[in-house]
Structure 1
């Protein structure tokens, strides 16, 4: 399908890319901050455990569609530097979203639930906000090596998942920028 994409392909590309980027902005920068200030820690974790699989699989679908539409109209042997960058960013986003959806998100959730079970044994997790009962969590970390290990596992996986999510957000942002700079008119 080499050549100039149809209007439908252009609109589909822009719609799917905008949907993914908007969803990423909302989940990454807004919903978590609102939730952590309004619900208990364990409720926050439960909501995130339900939200993230849907979020990551939706991101996988959007990344796949974006890469597919792009690949249909851009033969690899004829790509310019900008188009090579765009194609590479679509692929990187797809790859990282798949790793998050299939690997990191389920592993992070499992580690979180192990950590929460230990917290419940010590009557922790029902407080709202991150600063509440900070000393009690510190004491639990110091006294219980299993909790400390579960917490370290959780934060390593969560950190890697967050990093992959931010890289996907940047990939989609740069691709939106590339599309926006090459619009014929508004």
Structure 2
């Protein structure tokens, strides 16, 4: 059921809360949590924590994207969209698609690949160091000696890079939508 006109105060507050929750969560996971963990725990612990947090995170972003798109679409019929509203609904849709790709495919593929890499690293007494500087030479030698590990590492970074790109694009989409929504406020 498409609704024309202004949404109620409750709907506007709900929409703003969902959008700001999603964006804040994305900022935290992207720019704070990962860097804090990276510098404070071992590589394998870091990977384990991320493998547990990321599915929940990506499904949360997906749920928020679905709710944001749904609420926005109900109050903005396609036939009546202005160019800026068309952009905004497109950004909600892009975020929904990219969050779904991350939640359903990239997160799982990255985790499976990481766990295989960690098994090989454990065989070579690697993975307990904190940060990246320690034992760099040992990792380089492992890549040179073990073609399976080298292939897994390449696959991991490909999946991780795609996942990061999807995540950053969602972050930008939600940031633009949040800024646009903020600009539409009549006052504080």
Matched, 1:115 2:117: yes
Question: Residue 6 of structure 1 corresponds to which residue in structure 2?
Answer: 8
Secondary structure of 1:129's partner?
A: coil
Secondary structure of 2:7's partner?
A: coil
Secondary structure of 2:128's partner?
A: coil
Of the three residues 132, 137, 146, the one matched with 2:148 is 146
The structural deviation recorded for 1:32 is 0.5
Of the three residues 167, 171, 175, the one matched with 1:169 is 171
Question: Residue 44 of structure 2 corresponds to which residue in structure 1?
Answer: 42
The structural deviation recorded for 1:184 is 1.1
Question: Residue 97 of structure 2 corresponds to which residue in structure 1?
Answer: 95
Of the three residues 85, 88, 95, the one matched with 2:87 is 85
Q: TM-score, normalised by structure 1?
A: 0.99
Cα distance in 1 for partners of 2:80, 2:55 equals: 37
RMSD over equivalenced CA pairs, Å: 0.4
Question: Residue 61 of structure 1 corresponds to which residue in structure 2?
Answer: 63
Cα distance in 2 for partners of 1:2, 1:98 equals: 28
Matched, 1:72 2:56: no
Cα distance in 2 for partners of 1:76, 1:87 equals: 9
Secondary structure of 1:125's partner?
A: coil
Secondary structure of 2:40's partner?
A: coil
Q: Deviations over 1:61-84 (max 9, x none)?
A: 000000000001000011001100
Cα distance in 2 for partners of 1:2, 1:116 equals: 54
Cα distance in 1 for partners of 2:167, 2:132 equals: 22
Q: Deviations over 1:126-183 (max 9, x none)?
A: 0011111100000000111000000000000000000000000000000001001111
Q: Which runs of 5+ in 2 are unaligned?
A: none
Q: Which runs of 5+ in 1 are unaligned?
A: none
Cα distance in 2 for partners of 1:174, 1:124 equals: 42
Aligned length: 186
Q: TM-score, normalised by structure 2?
A: 0.98
